[in-house]
């Protein structure tokens, strides 16, 4: 192989490597762009999930508070009913 042929071969190999590096860099840049977009979407989705979870938690807490208030009123009404039944049953008699 002549020196000129060797230089041409080296030059063509360098050009091929340069082109391969360019294509690889473009692919990596595209991948990074896609990755950033995916991560931004994930972050937004996580934020929306957190907001929804906070709303759900507040709603459940409200239902629990309302339920506790209803149970409290029910207990008070049952106590009053028990007292009324007890006093009516005893007809004013003192217990033995």
Domain boundaries, the chain: 1-43, 54-96
> What does the pLDDT read at residue 91?
66
Question: What's the half-sphere exposure (Cβ side, CA atoms, 13 Å) at 61?
Answer: 6
Q: What are the E-state strand segments in the chain?
A: none
Per the confidence metrics, is the pTM higher than 0.85? no
Going 64 to 67 to 72 to 73, the CA torsion angle's sign is positive
Chain centroid to CA 82: 49
Is residue 79's pLDDT more than 60? yes
User: How far is Cα 51 from Cα 94, in angstroms, rounded to an integer?
Assistant: 61
């Amino acid at each position: 192989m002549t020196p000129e042929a060797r230089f041409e071969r080296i030059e063509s190999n360098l050009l091929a490597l340069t082109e391969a590096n360019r294509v690889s860099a473009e692919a990596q840049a595209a991948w990074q762009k896609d990755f950033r977009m995916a991560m931004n979407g994930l972050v937004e989705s996580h934020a929306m999930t957190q907001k929804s979870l906070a709303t759900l938690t507040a709603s459940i807490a409200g239902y629990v508070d309302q339920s506790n208030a209803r149970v409290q009123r029910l207990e008070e009404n049952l106590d009053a009913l028990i007292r009324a039944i007890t006093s009516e049953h005893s007809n004013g008699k003192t217990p033995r």
